[in-house]
Structure 1
Amino acid sequence: MIKKLPSGRWQVDIQPGGRGQKRIRKSFPSKAEAQRFERWALLQHDSGTLGPALKKDKRKLSELIEAWYLAHGKYLRDGERRYRHLKRMAVALRDPVAAKMTAKPYAVYRSLRIEEGRSPKTCNNELGYLNAVFNELHQTGEISYPSPLIKVKPIPIPEREMGYLDHDEIQAIFTELRERTVNPHVFLVARLSLETGARWSEAEGLTLQRLKPYLVTFDQTKSGKKRAVPVSKGFYTELYRHLQEHGSFGTSTISAFRRAVERSGVLLPQGQCAHILRHTFASHFMMNGGNILTLRKILGHASINMTMRYAHLAPNFLEEAVKLNPLANQAKNGGAILCLGDEPKGQKAGS
């Protein structure tokens, strides 16, 4: 049974073994947390581990990270990298007993990270990693408490200007790639990114098996979902011959691309070199009248909100604001139009 106490807290009062068995009473700040604990306690009872589980959990943060990695993290695409990052965080936080961890030490740690020059985005990623550890272990019944950092808010990040290349800049960079770059793969990787909107890692990871007549399939995607994008017949032929000869593009093309950009003299927004061709594809797609929903499918965005960053580049973006506002039909039908601010001060319209 769950009931609200006069103090405003919510109390769980249950006897998982039935009448005459051990009774459990525990209070929580919210009803949702009380319900989660009730489900957890019943699950632990059914598996025969309720007694040990109710004892004080003295495991340190590093031990929870280990448990998370073995049960869940190692199956993630970036699991190994995230695991190493979490272990470093545990050391920096002095590896507290996880059940006693509070938001304050983490807030101090985050402030120090910012002072060291870490970006707000990096700090927000770290917060997400820690919350994911607690949330995953809580959901699976490994721990009986939610994340102590659940109420810590991410640092607000102003939306960054999305850069893209114009035709002259594209020409300058690709001239460098074709004529002065030693790397045999970088030109085609860059062209693939520009012609399909692929992330650099997706384009670089293309194999002959993922290349079908006039269609490329990206399987090394950020979301883990495969995505197919059509290409021209001529470009398909170039890709096929190159991959048939070399087997793959290798994994060191981005450095060669950065050097080509520097030699071309094209100035890019800070931190956008690896994604500039993807942004350029999306920007030109919208400027040429492309559909925002089609663009979302091509780019593989999980949310339309990500794709909407390019919507303002469409030629008819927000034209409906003029065509469909409350006065548009009135003007069309010859009705009276509001002309605010045209009358002399103190004079009423029509006087």
Structure 2
Amino acid sequence: MPKKTADNKWLVDIRPHGANGPRIRKTFKTKAEATRFKAYEINKAKDSPWEPAAKDMRSLMVLVELWNEHHGQHIKSGVRRIWPLKEFATFTQNKQARLIKSTDFIKFRSAKLQAGTSATSMNTYLTYTKSMFNRLAKLELIEYENPLRHVEPLKTQEKERDFLTAGEISTLLDYLKPRNHDVYMCALVCLSTGARWSEAVNIEPNDVRDQRIRFKNTKSRKIREIPIQPELEKLLNCWQRRRTEKTLHTQFTGLLDDFGLKKAKHQSTHILRHSFAAHFIMNGGNLVTLQRILGHANIKTTMIYAHLSPSHLADAKELNPVSMDSLWTDS
């Protein structure tokens, strides 16, 4: 029966599932309310017997495989992501995933940094691992919070992104054209549309029509259509590619080495995409339009080219606080 409390309320204090079940304590203004609530909880317990939740004993490696089965194998970056996840699991000696702490990853990161891995790479490791836990929670495959939610990425120095000048572009295309027509065509598409190398290589005949080019095999898996010049359309309609993507990439890298373009050494084919974007902005192009052309999901990615805008550069010259007239007068 409900018990009357010192403040004239009625207390229900029961364990409807038995001595080992959860305890329910609740107060009511009237005895009738308390009695009805007690009867309700007891009847509910009869219909759904309580069973304590078993502890999640699964290891981190098991979760990595579970993530791959339910998500990783369905995304383009899945193969690239899984080996850093497995490496972290191995470092923790395949610890139970629910017992993973921020310090586990921090120790792992420190060991990798001492071994020569870059801070940028370790930030990528962190992103992949956090993403795995978030995805598993979203899929209701784990019932605890992301254990790395408080780990922050390392601050890194932004790398300078080189691009080809107009003269270098012309010279490079002239160099490629007689040596490897397939490589020349891929480079021409990248420089004309901002396409990734993989997108340019995988163009099919029906992707080029009405002075537009359609990219289907994109990083985001979203189709993009970019206007092109009629001369490029004619060249593409006559192009019969004879080599695979991997072969063309290797051949382009080799030709770049022979060409002696040092600024492209660490960017390889991606310098073509950067060059398109840089010249687009320097020639007065719009950042939002460039985002759509390049297929960036977030405008922040496109903002790396903002400093090349003519208006941006003009503002730096015109709006600075130093008066040139006074400098000449003082001298």
TM-score in same-fold range (> 0.5): yes
CA contact (8 A) 1:207 1:247 kept: no
Question: Aligned with 1:317: secondary structure?
Answer: helix
2:15–2:23 CA contact under 8 A, matched in 1: no
Distance in 2 of aligned mates of 1:116 and 1:205:
38
More moved, 194-203 vs 205-214: 205-214
Code of the aligned partner of 2:191: L
Q: Residues 149-298 of structure 1 correspond to what in structure 2 (within 5 A)?
A: 149-181=148-180, 184-242=181-239, 245-246=240-241, 250-268=245-263, 271-298=266-293
- Code of the aligned partner of 1:83: I
Query: Residues of 2 paired with 1:321 and 1:80: CA distance?
Result: 44
- The C-alpha deviation readout for 1:204-224, integer Å capped at 9, x for no partner, is 222223222311111222222
Q: Bigger CA drift: 57-66 or 220-229?
A: 220-229
2:295 corresponding residue in structure 1: 300
Rounded to whole Å, the distance in 2 between the matches of 1:49 and 1:284 is 69
Supply the distance in 2 between the matched residues of 1:119 and 1:24 (Cα, whole angstroms): 52
User: How far does residue 104 in structure 1 lie from its aligned partner after superposition?
Assistant: 1.6
2:3 paired residue number: none
Deviation by residue 1:177-212 (Cα, 9 ceiling, x = unmatched): 11334xx41110111000001111221222223222
Partner Cα separation in structure 1 for residue 57 and residue 220 of structure 2:
36
Aligned position for 1:148: 147
1:251 alignment partner, SS class:
helix
Tell me the distance in 1 between the aligned counterparts of 2:270 and 2:49: 50
Q: Within 2, Cα distance between the matches of 1:266 and 1:142?
A: 50
- Number of the residue aligned with 1:64: 63
CA distance in 1 between partners of 2:152 and 2:105 (Å): 12
- Per-residue deviation at 1:141? 2.1
By percentage of residues, which structure has more helix?
2
**Equivalent residues, number:** 286
In terms of mean alpha carbon deviation, does 61-70 or 314-323 score higher? 314-323
Give deviations 1:50-97, integer Å, cap 9, x for gaps. Answer: 947x21111100111111122222211222332344223322331111
**Alpha carbons of structure 1 residues 91 and 50: separation in structure 2 relative to 1, 3 Å:** farther
C-alpha distance in 2, partners of 1:274/1:238? 21
2:99 maps to amino acid = K
Flag the 1:249–1:209 CA change in 2: closer, same or farther, 3 A. Answer: farther
What secondary structure is seen at the aligned counterpart in 1 of 2:268?
coil
Counterpart-to-counterpart distance in 2, 1:207 and 1:162:
30
Change (3 A) 1:91 1:209: farther
The 1:123–1:49 alpha-carbon spacing in structure 2 relative to 1, beyond 3 Å, is farther
CA distance in 1 between partners of 2:264 and 2:242 (Å): 34
Q: How large is the RMSD of aligned CA atoms in angstroms? A: 3.1
Q: Which runs of 5+ in 1 are unaligned?
A: 1-17, 26-47, 328-338, 342-351
Instruction: Out of 124-133 and 87-96, give the one that drifted further.
Output: 87-96
The equivalent residue for 2:38 is none
C-alpha offsets along residues 253-312 of structure 1, whole Å, 9 cap, x if unaligned?
122222222222222165222211111111111111112221111111111122121122
When residues 117 and 50 of structure 1 are mapped into structure 2, their CA distance, relative to the original with a 3 A threshold, is farther
**Alpha-carbon distance in 2 for matches of 1:273, 1:248:** 18
| Percent of matched pairs sharing the same residue | 34
Letter of the 2:88 partner, please give it: M
Separation in 2, partners of 1:50, 1:202:
56
Could you say which residue in structure 2 is the equivalent of 1:37?
A: none
- SS at 1:128's partner residue? helix
Separation in 2, partners of 1:215, 1:240: 12
1:20 matched residue in structure 2: 16
Determine the C-alpha separation between the residues in 1 that align with 2:96 and 2:85: 15
SS of the residue aligned with 1:111?
A: helix
* Deviation of 1:318 (Å): 6.1
The structure that has the greater radius of gyration is 2
Structure 1 residues 20, 231: CA separation in 2 closer, same or farther (over 3 Å shift)?
A: same
- Asked if the contact 2:198–2:245 (Cα under 8 Å) also holds between the matched residues in 1, the reply is no
Could you tell me whether the CA contact under 8 Å between 1:189 and 1:249 is conserved in 2? no
